[in-house]
Chain A
Amino acid sequence: MTSTRADGAVAVGERVVRRVRSALDPMTTAPPSSARSDPGWLAVTVLPDVDLETLPPPLTDLGDEVEVRVRPAAGGKGTELRARLRDGGSAGPVRRLSGTDREARLRAALREAKQVIEVGEVLRVDPAPHGERPSTPAGLLLEAWTRAAPRGGVR
């Protein structure tokens, strides 16, 4: 009980000091909240305005598996389209970069949704003309990485 009262008194004192200091110096207003107080979102920024009612299929196909939010991007850079798995799913960098983590489908869906919103279609590269591809270890590794590349990436 004594401790709680003391803590309360300290908190009140801090608020008073902050208000006095902020009145004197505009640089010392209330401390900002953490820049990442609600983590776990994958995000892309799309240029035109979008809202939750007009999201395209690559993202809406994931249904209730994901939580989706939109908010304006800083400086008029468009709209931030943010999504995360409802039951979490963050993995280490190797699984993320290789597209083998639980967020892989969501990462690909966000990228495809961005293309549909901005360009109207999802860009395809295969089948691309190529010559003979021998089955070398390095070649197979690159092919596997290329297959994973649309789903893999950074957080």
Chain B
Amino acid sequence: MKAVTWRGVNEIGVEDVPEPTILNDHDMIVEVGLSATCGSDLHLMGGYIPAMRAGDVLGHEFMGTVAAVGPGVTKHRVGDRVVVVSFTSCGHCWYCRQELYSLCDNGNPNPGITEALWGQSIGGCFGYSHALGGWAGSHAPYIRVPYADQGAFTVPADVSDERALFASDAAPTGWTGAHQAGVGPGDVVAVWGGGGVGQMAARAAMIMGAEQVVVIDRYENRLDQVRTQIGAETLDYEQDDVPAALREITGGRGPDVCIEAVGMEAHSPGPQYLYDQAKQQLRLQTDRPTAVREAIYACRKGGSVFTLGVFAGLVDKFPLGAVMNKALTLRGAQQHGHRYVPEILERMSRGEVRTEHLATHVMSLDDGPAGYRMFKEKEDGCVRAVFHPHD
């Protein structure tokens, strides 16, 4: 079958790969209907997460139809239309029972790699390097889904494929950030990053009762989506002094909750960006934490900062003094999607969560390299390139 693969740093290919088979009783094979690019794929593409091997199939955000089930699958049948959480989580370990699904003890068959990096391993993720399990990704006609009863959810009949697709990763990641950051009624919430995840974090914060939500980005088409599709306010960090604007908006206090949805390749105007870029390219730091720094400085005393963007390792010039002296709560997570997807699908069904606008460019697998280039360079207002594997 045809698949979009990682061939090397900034090199995406389309090649033939074998079809997946059921290997465990709890497996399912899904015929992929739609599969999205994600901002975190760009970290793989750029070589910032160095556990990719040439030939690895990309893609972790997808929906489709059940094509085959293993003997241990009880929740799904062939023909079900499902959306699948990007993380592989067993549903039975202590972390899964605490609904911290991305921390699953059993979902990563290569635990030694992340134990070496972080001291402990977390769950696995489709198409996201051998550090997170080496699972084949979803930019292909078929994908194997382990722990299928846990990670796959039936899509309500009145939710379109284009809407359900983003219940796989962008929406539950946003929900994870807003919920785990403790957003509550009356809060003022600032979100750094107006891509799919940032928009969904903003929407989740609004649904959780935030009084005012402000999204920060520099691309006008994204900021326009935030205003018109999400209903949140915006700041352009190339036009506005963001910390000053946030202080003004909040009467000098700063936002109650600051959610960073940018990740390890953050951009900013000014010399800080050049400094971080130089250190990252020289491998003196693995990640550029520009947006995290700003979130920490902007947050109100005693507030909450959440790192939702993907980081891999070490950062420099981290404002620990501000975290300590302002009594901030700093948290982070990959998505605990299994916890939030049922609610998200219900809200999608009621029209309270709309995501179709994120799929600005829908194309075939043959266009995989072009899709990733457009997504990376933000060509033609690309917010997300989405692949239709059966075109």
Q: Contact: B92 with A119, CB < 8 Å?
A: yes
Q: Is the CB of B136 within 8 A of A128?
A: yes
Cβ–Cβ < 8 Å partners of A150 in chain B: 109-112
Binds A, one of B47-55, B195-203, B261-269: B47-55
B110 contacts A153, CB within 8 Å?
no
CB of B195, distance to nearest CB on chain A (Å) = 28
Given A99-B112, A125-B133, A154-B116, the answer on whether A132 and B55 have CB atoms closer than 8 Å is: yes
Partner of A145, one of B20, B24, B113, B135: B113
With an 8 A cutoff between CB atoms, is B343 at the interface? no
B66 part of interface (Cβ distance < 8 Å): no
Q: A131 to B133, Cβ gap below 8 A?
A: no
Whether, in the assembled complex, A23 has its beta carbon less than 8 Å from a beta carbon of chain B, the answer is: no
Partner of B107, one of A45, A123, A139: A123
Which residues of chain A (103-153) have a CB below 8 Å from chain B? Answer: 111, 114-115, 118-121, 123-134, 136, 138-139, 142-143, 145-146, 148-153
Cβ contact within 8 Å between A97 and B3: no
Given contacts A45-B94, A97-B116, A129-B18, whether A134 and B140 have CB atoms under 8 Å apart is: no
Q: Which residues of B contact A142 (CB under 8 A)?
A: 50-53, 130
| B23 partner residues in chain A, CB cutoff 8 A | 124-125
The distance from the CB of B136 to the nearest CB of chain A, in whole angstroms, is 5
Give the distance in Å from the alpha carbon of A47 to the alpha carbon of B136 in the complex.
29
Task: Determine the chain B residues whose CB is within 8 A of the CB of A154 once the complex forms.
Answer: 115-116, 119-120
Residue on B nearest A146 in the bound complex, by CB: B130
A77 within 8 A of B: yes
* Interface membership of A56, Cβ < 8 A: no
Against A, the Cβ 8 Å flags (1 = close, 0 = not) of B20-31 are 110111100000
Contacts A123-B24, A149-B130; A114 near B55 (Cβ below 8 A): no
Chain B residues with CB under 8 Å of A149's CB are 109-113, 130
Residues of B within 8 A of A151 (CB): 112
Q: Say whether B134 contacts A128, CB under 8 Å.
A: yes
- Residue A78 interfacial (CB < 8 Å): yes
B72 on the A face (CB < 8 A): yes
Q: How far is the CA of A132 from the CA of B3 in the complex (A)?
A: 11
**Which residues of B (84-139) have their CB < 8 Å from a CB of A?**
90, 92-94, 97, 105-107, 109-113, 115-116, 119-121, 130, 133-136
Binds A, one of B9-17, B317-325, B331-339: B9-17
Q: Check B106 against A131 for contact (C-beta < 8 Å).
A: no
Contacts of A115 in B (CB 8 A): 90, 106
Q: A129-B18, A149-B130 are in contact. Are A139 and B112 (CB under 8 A)?
A: no
Q: Which residues of B contact A134 (CB under 8 A)?
A: 54
Check: B216 CB closer than 8 A to any chain A CB.
no
Flag whether B56 is at the interface (Cβ < 8 A).
Answer: yes
Q: How near does chain A come to B53, taking the closest CB pair, in angstroms?
A: 5
How far does the Cβ of B119 sit from chain A's closest Cβ, in whole Å?
6
* Cα-based distance from A24 to B5 in the complex (angstroms): 70
- Residues of B within 8 Å of A44, CB to CB, are 105
Residues from chain B with Cβ under 8 Å of A152 in the complex: 112, 115-116
Quick check: B116 and A47 within 8 Å, CB to CB? Answer: no
The complex places the Cα of A139 from the Cα of B113 at a distance, in Å, of 15
Contact with B along A59-83 (1 / 0, CB 8 A): 0000000000000000001100000
Contact between A47 and B25 (Cβ–Cβ < 8 Å)? no
Q: Is the CB of A124 within 8 A of B24?
A: yes
Taking the closest CB of chain B, its distance from the CB of A126, in whole angstroms, is: 8
Q: Find chain B residues with CB under 8 A from A138 CB.
A: 50
28 contacts between A and B (CB under 8 A): A77-B94, A78-B94, A115-B90, A118-B90, A118-B105, A118-B106, A119-B106, A123-B107, A125-B133, A129-B1, A129-B20, A130-B56, A131-B5, A132-B54, A134-B54, A138-B50, A142-B50, A142-B51, A142-B130, A143-B53, A145-B112, A146-B110, A146-B113, A146-B134, A149-B110, A153-B112, A153-B116, A154-B115
Other than the given A123-B107, A142-B51, A150-B110, 7 more pairs (CB < 8 A) read A119-B147, A125-B133, A128-B136, A130-B53, A133-B54, A139-B54, A154-B116
Q: Interface residues, chain B, CB within 8 Å of chain A?
A: 1, 3, 5, 7, 13, 15-21, 23-26, 50-57, 72, 90, 92-94, 97, 105-107, 109-113, 115-116, 119-121, 130, 133-136, 140, 144, 146-147
